[in-house]
Each structure stands twice: as structure tokens, then as C-alpha cells.
A and B are shown apart, each in its own frame.
Chain A
Amino acid sequence: MMKRLLAIGLILVIGYWLANGLAGVPFGEDRMLVGQYYLDNVKQQTGAINAVTAVVVNYRGFDTLGEVTVLFIASTGVGALLWRRKKERTAEVEGSVVLTTGTKLLVPFVILFGSYIFIHGHLTPGGGFPGGATIATAFLLLYMAFTAYEIPHKGFEKTEGVAGMSYVLVGLIGLAIGGYFLFDWIWQTWKIGTVGELLSGGFIPVIYMLIGIKVGTELSGIIDNMIKEGVSE
């Protein structure tokens, strides 16, 4: 009882403190310093309509590279924690015909829609991470509906590595052409595409395609690791 009261009191104090600090920030007023620069220059400098993806991939590409690394470490960590010599699915109840047939019909659509999200990252909301997560959902569906389903491991792990390396490679090409890492050589040097069409946005669609594939295979790998149980021989 004492503990709870103390905890509630502490949370109230912290909440008041935060609210007090935020009260100094006026809501709805123009307080943009660097934000205005992004909005003014995003089309001409990056060729993308979606300012968020332009900032995330182009202006602040290092952060995205870091996020991709974090996800990779998470996937490797789960793999390392749950590592056992022999692992099998121990699920015993196969889904009914409604579940299995529905999954079979849905999986191609889910994968197509995930690809749609990351291919249009520079034009519409979304990008590589939501697209990749959507694709991983398709594999989660397969795992849930079929007791014996397994992702093709060898292909998945290699694809994941190749996609991650290609991201760094795109950045290194920028280093060679433009003088710094993750320089947008496709847009800045070659000027490919017109703003607003699918073929535009410099290297944003290329990088998001790689991130989408990487995230999709990675999350599927995490699902695969967590859904299996070790069996003693």
C-alpha cells in the first residue's frame, strides 16, 4: 500500500513537472527553425514529395542506417538468446479450412501491398519500415495458419545481409561521387526523374526498397525464432 501511494505521488510530481515545462511551448504557432528549411527545399534538393522520408533517408540518413543496425542487432540477439541445436514447431492444432484458405488467398495481397508501401515511400506516407513490417505480417499469417510452415531460411538470411550491404554500398558510392557518405548521387548528380512521378526522389526509393526487404526478412526471422521450441532428442 505504502509503495503504491509513493509511486502514484512520484508519477504525479513528474507529470506536473513535465506539464509545467511544456506549458512554455505555444501550441499551433510557427516555431520552426530548421523545419522551414526542409519544407522549402525538399522538392528541389531531394526530388521527393514526402518530406518525412526525405528527412529520414536523405538529410539525416545516418539515423536510418542506425535504426537498420538496431533492428539487425535485435534480430541477431533474439537468434542468439533462443539458439538451440534442434528446434521445431510444436503447434499441434491445424487451422480450419476457413483460416488456411483465407491465409492462402491473402498472403500474395499482403506482400504486394507491403511492396507498394515501400516503393512509394517518396510520394505517399510510409516507407521501408512499414512496408517491411507489412511483408513480415504475411509470413506471420502463414506461421499462424499452418502448423508445419517454415520460412526458407537460407534464402531469407542471405537476402537480409545483401540488402543491408547494398544500403551501405549506395552510401559509399555517394562518398566516391559526392565527397560524403550517403550523398544522394542519383538525384544530385544525375537528376533522374521528375518530381511527383514514381521515377524520382533520388535514392530514396532505392534505399527504401532495400530497407523494406531487409525489415521484412528480419522480422520474419524473429517470428520464426520465437515461435519454435527446443526439442530434446
Chain B
Amino acid sequence: MGEASKVSRYLYTVIVLFLIWLFLTASLDPQEMLVGLLLALIVGAFTYEIFTTNGLANLSPRRIVYAIAYVPYFLWAMIMANLDVAYRVLHPKRPINPGIVECRTVLKSDVGKLALANSITLTPGTITLDVDGDRYFIHWIDVKDASVEGASRNITAPFEKFLKVIFG
């Protein structure tokens, strides 16, 4: 995906910062809103160049819907993985089979790669050690399939179907 225009990137940064401000102050007092808007405009002017490359394209309805749907999906994966690790810790024989596997990702954007790496790390049992281009090096507590394709199918693919739409 190419770089969006400066105006679009700036506007996107301002919108995101203003939303954060609204959550932060949790008040609809006009004074707070005005100061928040001013601050979003100022901070946005200084930081939009590093904050975003896609600009307003990030706010397409399809992406937002997928992003909202991703939250419960990810939380569920996190709960299940936590229970799985708790089972391994409490089990008298400690059934672990650790190892480092390599995965491939289909994600192109850096933000998508960051989201995938964090999703993998936050679901216990798998930890992202390093990301290099489209290769992920992952420490897996229970290696079921050491091949690149097999590991990708098990670890990265479940998240990718969402993240591919959200971040590209």
C-alpha cells in the first residue's frame, strides 16, 4: 500500500489523538473538548509523519468492523491459551516440548506485523523472539509441527485472517 497524502495522514493522527483525549478526560465539558482539539492539532502536527503511513484509509468501515470483531476473538484465544499453560504447569508430569520454530506471515504492513507479534506473545505458549521481513521466530512450549508451513498454520494463520483486513 502506497503512502497516503500528508493531509490525510495528519487528519487521521488528529482524529485518533482526539479520541484518546475524550477517553482520558471522560468528560464532554466544552472547555476540555476545545483544549483537547487544540492539543490534538498541535501534537498531531509534530508526530503525524512517524505515526501513520496510510492516513484516513485506516478508518474504512470494513477495517473498523474487523478490528472490533478481533477484540473478543483475541480475548477468547488468550483465555484458552492461559488455561492451557495453567494445565501444563499444574500437571504432575509437566507435558512440555519446547522449541523455536520459524513461521511465515502474509502481512505486509509494519503495524500488522507488530499486531501479529504482540498477539502471538500475549497468547501464552508462544513467544515472538524476532521478526525479520516476513519470517517470525517463535518459541513454542509444545512443538507439534516444526516445519515452516505447519507452524504457520498453527500459530500465525488464526490471527492473520483478521489482521490482514485490519492492517493489510
Chain B 129-157 per-residue mask, 1 if CB under 8 angstroms from chain A, else 0 = 01110000000000000000000000000
Q: How many residues of B are counted as interface, with CB atoms below 8 angstroms from the partner's CB atoms?
A: 30
Chain B 51-87 per-residue mask, 1 if CB under 8 angstroms from chain A, else 0 = 1000000000000000000000000000000000000
Cα distance A180–B147 in the bound complex, in angstroms = 77
Is residue A32 within 8 Å, beta carbon to beta carbon, of the partner chain? no
User: Do B43 and A115 touch (CB < 8 A)?
Assistant: yes
Cα distance A113–B36 in the bound complex, in angstroms = 11
Instruction: Specify the chain A residue showing the minimal Cβ separation from B48.
Output: A108
Q: Could you pull out 22 A-B pairs where Cβ atoms are within 8 angstroms?
A: A97-B117, A97-B131, A98-B113, A98-B118, A98-B131, A104-B51, A105-B51, A105-B114, A107-B50, A108-B44, A108-B47, A108-B48, A108-B51, A112-B17, A112-B39, A112-B40, A112-B43, A115-B39, A116-B25, A197-B29, A198-B29, A198-B31
Instruction: Specify the chain B residue showing the minimal Cβ separation from A115.
Output: B39
B50 contacts across to A, CB distance below 8 A = 104, 107
User: Do B47 and A111 touch (CB < 8 A)?
Assistant: yes
Instruction: Specify the chain B residue showing the minimal Cβ separation from A135.
Output: B43
Listed residue (A96, A108, A197, A198) with the most chain B CB atoms within 10 angstroms of its CB: A108
Cα distance A96–B46 in the bound complex, in angstroms = 24
Measured CB to CB, the closest approach of chain A to B90, in angstroms, equals 31
Is residue A102 within 8 Å, beta carbon to beta carbon, of the partner chain? yes
Measured CB to CB, the closest approach of chain B to A107, in angstroms, equals 6
Measured CB to CB, the closest approach of chain B to A153, in angstroms, equals 15
Q: Which of A193-222 contact B (CB under 8 A)?
A: 197-199
Is residue A101 within 8 Å, beta carbon to beta carbon, of the partner chain? yes
User: Do A199 and B47 touch (CB < 8 A)?
Assistant: no
User: Do A108 and B17 touch (CB < 8 A)?
Assistant: yes
Is residue B122 within 8 Å, beta carbon to beta carbon, of the partner chain? no
User: Do A105 and B31 touch (CB < 8 A)?
Assistant: no
Residues of B within 8 A of A (CB): 13, 16-17, 20-21, 24-25, 29, 31-32, 35, 39-40, 43-44, 46-48, 50-51, 110-111, 113-114, 117-118, 128, 130-132
A112 contacts across to B, CB distance below 8 A = 17, 20-21, 24, 39-40, 43
User: Do A108 and B43 touch (CB < 8 A)?
Assistant: yes
Is residue A109 within 8 Å, beta carbon to beta carbon, of the partner chain? yes
Cα distance A23–B43 in the bound complex, in angstroms = 51
Cα distance A108–B118 in the bound complex, in angstroms = 20
User: Do A98 and B128 touch (CB < 8 A)?
Assistant: yes
Instruction: Specify the chain A residue showing the minimal Cβ separation from B110.
Output: A101
User: Do B51 and A98 touch (CB < 8 A)?
Assistant: no
